[in-house]
Amino acid sequence: MLIELKNVTHVYEHERGTRVLKNVNLEIRENEFIGLIGHTGSGKSTLAQILNGLIKPSEGNVIIDGIDITKEKVNLQRIRQKIGLVFQYPEHQLFEETVYKDIAFGPGNLELDPEDIEIRVREALELVGLNYEEFKNRSPFNLSGGQQRKVAIAGVLAMKPEVLILDEPTAGLDPQGRRQLMGLLETLYKKEGITVILISHRMEEIARLSTRVIVLCEGKVQFDDSPEKVFAEVEAIKKLSLGLPEITEILHCIKERGFDVRTDIFTIDGAVKEIVSKLRRKDIC
Amino acid sequence: MLRNINIGQYIARDSIIHKLDARIKIIITILMITALFFIDSFKGYFLFLLAVLFIIYLSQISFMRIIRGLRPVLFLVLLTLILHIFFTRGGEVIWQWRFITIEKNGLITGLFMVSRILLLIMFTSLLTLTTSPLQLTDGIESLLRPLKRFGIPASELAMMMTIALRFIPTLLEEADKIMKAQMARGADFESGNIIRRSKNLIPLLVPLFISAFRRADDLALAMESRCYHGGEGRTKLHELKVKTQDFIALFISILFSILVSFF
Amino acid sequence: MALIEIKGVDFTYNELETPALANINLSIEAGEFIAIIGGNGSGKSTLAKLLNVLLLPGSGKVLVDGMDTADEKYKLKIRQKVGMVFQNPDNQLVAARVEDDIAFGPENLGIPGPEIRKRVDQALELVGMAGFHDYPPHELSGGQKQRIAIAGIIAMEPDCIVLDEPTAMLDPKGRKEVMDTIHFLNKEKGITIIHITHFMEETIGADRIFVMHNGAIYKEGTPEEIFHSISDIKRLGLDVTVVVELAERLKKEGFNLPDVLTISELVDCLC
Ligand SMILES: Nc1ncnc2c1ncn2[C@@H]1O[C@H](COP(=O)(O)OP(=O)(O)OP(=O)(O)O)[C@@H](O)[C@H]1O
Ligand SMILES: Nc1ncnc2c1ncn2[C@@H]1O[C@H](COP(=O)(O)OP(=O)(O)OP(=O)(O)O)[C@@H](O)[C@H]1O
Ligand SMILES: [Mg+2]
Ligand SMILES: [Mg+2]
């Protein structure tokens, strides 16, 4: 699966003609882990919906697996099954009366046997860390914010997509839920070879797993590079309403005090090693 | 795709039309719509159309926006036209083929009805496009206030109207979202003929209503948490005040509606 | 007398067998900055709704400034005193213009027009959004919308603002704007803040943190007390901040560090 955007520009019909995306060119290859960041309103969610054909861009081409989906008469259904999208607001994704029915909706459209559907629902709920028996008959609208989020993610996982786009999936999740989800994404990416596109406002999540970071600003691609390179542009990143992962920020502060530490480190383990090797241990502080 | 309907939507602009008193705008709208039903010549309709275009120009709302608002009723309009053309009798025969005849009265009545519907929709959507829902409620409430004496709950009635007005775009937005949510998980709304497509819309309905009610509920919660408790004892940031330009606007439209109905 | 007092409160949603809140007891003084953390479904939002009379306790009492929320005649008074900001900015703005939205609360309270005008302007000033009177909400960024929502509450001159994950949808800058705003309101205006969040670093500036677990207050204390029992926090599915975690790991490596909470404290001690 390969996605290619060529000169994509998008204008929402009823706005005052402001271009939400401006001339975006991207190529997404198999088994990448892409972090997509940008200020609020920079066009991330719009881009996500263009990538799986929910929005047809005003101009430009979207080519998926060699097929240009902006042309007429393309079967978008097959494409959307391969490219799963977890929406930004979980309540926009849920529509059925029970959690079971909601998650079964996608597999149902794949024309699977009822038994297979049940297996998929069960698996999906387990993957996001919800108990099948406890939740299957509850109304998705009477769940806590974080629980709704998990059900929405399960609904997309149940379709077993080849590309998984997640629009701020960890917003509203507690730290454990967040850790589980990130672990899950890591497995899907490393073991199943899935392409993951992760939109998030938490820089540490982006930095941790991404092989490539795309930064949007007012609808334009500002950076498209490895996380190390992107987060090295400290000034530019801050100007774009973004920040650094906290751990990187700490290393930057230490560096400013005149210690020669590396600043392209995004994990606590890495930072500990770096600090231990570069800083003297003081007895008194 | 469903966001084109104009009724119940508001577009903020800094125009003369936006600044008119909501009550005056409501009265003018009623006046003009009444006049519309008295017009019985193409000249009259043309004059009315010119007036509407002029108001659109003054309101700084894009013309395309108003036109797009007409799209959803196109079907209704066409149906009206066709029914009149084929079934209203009278006048000279214009065209005949076997048992189908088109007579002059049918064609004219059809065209009149179509002009009427289109102009009516354009005019009322201008009202809601240029008047914020809150102002609209205040206007309606203030106009209904004299009825309070007869035991009619004017404030609640007005609030209900506003919520209904607010509800239309909410409902459409919601339909749009659910459609997207289902499409993202493999539902098919785009292919097949009309019958097939309409059938595919059925699974949309139940969730649509559930979630529209939930949205309304969320909104009610937000309003309630900010002390909303009906119109009783509510004050206004912008007290409605009728200004000179309001009188001028009213005067002009009274003149215009008399003029146009006699054309 | 404490501003908010909760005594033996239970709450169960119709649909559930297990209660969403069980035997909650707490009291909050005027002027405090409280952070509430806890896992998904632990009852934080339910607790918040009790304070604003959007829900009534099944048993027990919720007192705001001595007034019982179950008493119908205090309902408006309490809602005026305790304002609420929700997670999704789009669902809480009621009007089509910023100014009208902020005026909505005071209008409901029956404040005279000129006074509302003054309050609207002050509130906009306070949240750093002066000059945005005329904007339609949908032309604002997420962080700006949240600040307008906060301004709408401030215009009602509340004693306390409850914020339920107000920063969840915001970019780092928007998050900082909102956090700066509520800290400012707390310090300069003496408004009590109750801040529900999943961002542990947002709780560092709080006077006290409540940790919720399975519908109960599991623990309560200053940020130092809460975050320096790392294993305890992790057992609940929560986390400590990056700074605390890093400091802890460095201590194990032989660094001699005191308990630190902020980046600058940590860096000062290291360098
Ligand atoms: N359905 C829509 N109709 C009209 N305008 C829209 C629509 N959705 C988004 N917009 C506008 O398009 C712009 C980009 O929005 P988008 O949701 O893609 O941003 P985003 O980067 O996802 O922001 P956030 O981080 O807040 O989610 C914004 O200015 C927004 O107001
Ligand atoms: N409207 C409702 N009807 C029935 N049960 C509900 C409702 N809202 C919440 N619950 C249940 O009550 C419990 C507590 O929910 P609450 O929303 O207070 O959690 P929370 O701490 O805010 O969680 P989160 O961090 O996910 O927002 C959960 O088990 C949830 O499923
Ligand atoms: Mg978005
Ligand atoms: Mg909650």
Cα C244 to middle of ligand 4, angstroms = 25
Cβ distance A77 to B182 less than 8 Å, yes or no, reads no
Model pLDDT, residue A100: 95
C170: which chain A residues are within 8 Å (Cβ-Cβ)?
40, 201
What is the reported pLDDT for B181? 84
Q: Assign 3-state DSSP to chain B and report helix, strand, coil percentages, each to 5.
A: 70, 5, 25
Q: Please report whether residue C262 resides in a domain.
A: no
> Hey, are the CB atoms on C108 and B228 less than 8 Å from each other?
yes
Q: Assess whether pLDDT exceeds 60 at residue C152.
A: yes
Smallest Cα distance from A2 to chain B, Å:
18
Tell me which chain B residues have a C-beta less than 8 angstroms from the C-beta of A76.
183, 190
pLDDT value at residue C62: 95
Split into its structural domains, chain A has a count of 2
* Closest chain B residue by Cα to residue C115: B237
Q: How far apart are CA C229 and CA B42, in angstroms?
A: 84
* φ and ψ at residue A195, rounded to 5 degrees: -90, 130
Atom of ligand 1 nearest to the CA of A88: 27
Confidence class for position B190, pLDDT limits 50, 70, 90: low
Closest-CA distance, B38 to chain C, in angstroms, reads 35
Q: What average pLDDT does range C67-87 have in this prediction?
A: 92
Using DSSP bridges, classify how beta strands A67-68 and A19-28 pair: parallel, antiparallel or unpaired.
unpaired
Ligand 3 centre and the CA of A4: distance in Å? Answer: 21
Q: How far is the CA of C41 from the centre of ligand 2 (A)?
A: 5
**Residue predicted with more confidence, A220 or C86:** A220
Considering only CB atoms, C256 lies closest to which of A246, A249, A285, namely: A285
The answer to whether residue A23 scores a pLDDT higher than 90 is yes
Cα→Cα distances B13→A261, B59, B233, Å: 54, 8, 30
Q: Residue B169: its pLDDT value, please? A: 64
Same domain, A198 and A264: no
Q: How many CB atoms lie within 10 A of CB B214?
A: 14
Q: Which ligand is nearest to the CA of A18?
A: 1
Q: Are residues A92 and A200 in the same domain?
A: yes
Q: Which residues of C touch B19 (CB under 8 A)?
A: none
Find, among B111, B108, B80, the residue nearest to B94 by Cα.
B108
Q: Which of A26-35, A79-88, A91-100 has the lowest mean pLDDT?
A: A91-100
Beta-carbon separation of A97 and B210 below 8 A: yes
What pairs with residue A68 in β-bridges?
Answer: A63
Query: Rounded to the nearest 5°, which phi and psi values hold at A28?
Result: -115, 125
Q: What is the mean pLDDT of residues C235-262?
A: 88
Contact B225 C52 (CB under 8 A): yes
In chain A, DSSP finds a helix count (H) and a strand count (E) of: 12, 10
Residue the block writes with tokens 């994990």: A267
Residue B194 pLDDT: 63
Residue A103 sits in the same domain as residue A213: yes
Structure tokens at C268: 């000062």
Binding site membership of C45 for ligand 2 (Cβ less than 6 Å): yes
Domain locations along chain B: 2-261
Here the ipTM equals 0.85
Cβ neighbors of C139 (< 8 A, separation 6 or more) are: none
Residue of A nearest to C198 (CA): A174
Distance CA C96, CA C102 (A): 11
Q: Do B237 and C91 touch (CB under 8 A)?
A: no
Ligand at minimal distance from the CA of A49 is 1
Residue C150 lies in a domain: yes
Q: Do A250 and A237 share a domain, yes or no?
A: no
* pLDDT band (50, 70, 90) for residue B193: low
Does the CB atom of residue C167 touch ligand 2 within 6 A?
no
Q: What is the pLDDT at residue B2? A: 46
Rounded Cα gap, residues A121 and A158, in angstroms: 6
**For residue C176, what are the domain limits?**
4-240
Using alpha carbons, list the distances in angstroms from residue C225 to C136, C186, C232. 44, 22, 11
Angle of helix C242-252 relative to helix C263-270, nearest 10 degrees, comes to 20
**Does C81 reside within a domain?**
yes
Indicate whether A107 and A166 sit together in one domain: yes
Residues sharing a CB contact under 8 Å with residue A134, sequence separation 6 or more, in sequence order: none
If asked whether residues A137 and A256 sit together in one domain, one would say: no
Do residue A238 and residue A249 come from a single domain? no
Q: Which chains touch A (3 or more CB pairs under 8 A)?
A: B, C
Minimum CA–CA partner of A285 in chain C: C269
| Residue A138, C-beta contacts closer than 8 angstroms, at least 6 positions apart | A98, A99, C15
Which of C198, C226, C232, C260 to probe by mutation at the A interface, max A CB count within 10 Å?
C198
Q: Is A183 close to ligand 2, i.e. is its CB under 6 Å away? A: no
A76: nearest CB among B190, B206, B207: B190
User: What CATH number is attached to the domain comprising C30?
Assistant: 3.40.50.300
- 3-state DSSP assignment of residue A39: coil
Asked whether C249 and A268 are in contact (CB, 8 A), the reply is yes
Q: Report chain B's terminal Cα–Cα distance, integer Å.
A: 40
Are A7 and A133 within one domain? yes
φ, ψ (nearest 5 deg) of residue A27: -135, 120
Q: Span B233-259, mean pLDDT? A: 85
Q: How far apart are CA C56 and CA C61, in angstroms?
A: 9
pLDDT, average across residues A127-137: 91
Return the CATH number at A24. Answer: 3.40.50.300
pLDDT for res B5? 53
pLDDT digits (tens, 9 = 90+) for B30-58: 999 899 888 888 889 999 999 999 999 99
Residue B83: pLDDT over 80: yes
Residues of C in contact with B235 (CB under 8 A): 106-107, 110-113, 116
B183 CB within 8 Å of a chain A CB? yes
Distance CA(B111)–CA(B105), nearest Å, equals: 10
Nearest CA-CA partner of B66 in B124, B19, B135, B153: B124
Asked, for residue C24, whether it belongs to a domain, the answer is yes
Query: Which atom of ligand 2 lies at the shortest distance from residue C39's CA?
Result: 25
Give the residue whose CA is nearest to atom 17 of ligand 2: A144
Nearest CA-CA distance, residue A66 and chain C, Å: 35
Indicate if the pLDDT at residue C161 is higher than 90: yes
pLDDT value at residue A282? 52
Chain B CB contacts of C84 under 8 Å are 225
Please report residues of A whose CB lies closer than 8 A to that of C89: none
Asked whether the predicted pLDDT for residue B195 surpasses 80, the reply is no
Return the H-helix or E-strand segment holding A158.
Answer: none
Separation in Å, CA C201 to CA A205, B67, B175, C206, C250: 15, 51, 38, 10, 19
Q: State the residue range of the domain holding A162.
A: 3-242
The yes-or-no verdict on residue A189 having pLDDT over 70 is yes
Q: Is the CB of C152 under 6 A from ligand 2?
A: no
Other CB atoms within 10 Å distance of the CB of residue A141: 16
- Clarify whether residues A179 and A253 are in a common domain: no
Pick C161 or C269 by higher pLDDT: C161
B188 part of contact set with chain A, CB < 8 Å = yes
For residue C189, the one-letter residue type is: K
A112/A147 same-domain check: yes
Asked whether A106 and A157 are in contact (CB, 8 A), the reply is no
User: For C227-248, what is the HEC assignment?
Assistant: HCCHHHHHHCCCCCCHHHHHHH
Summarize pLDDT for B102-149 with one digit per residue, the tens: 778 888 888 888 898 899 888 888 888 888 777 887 788 888 888 878
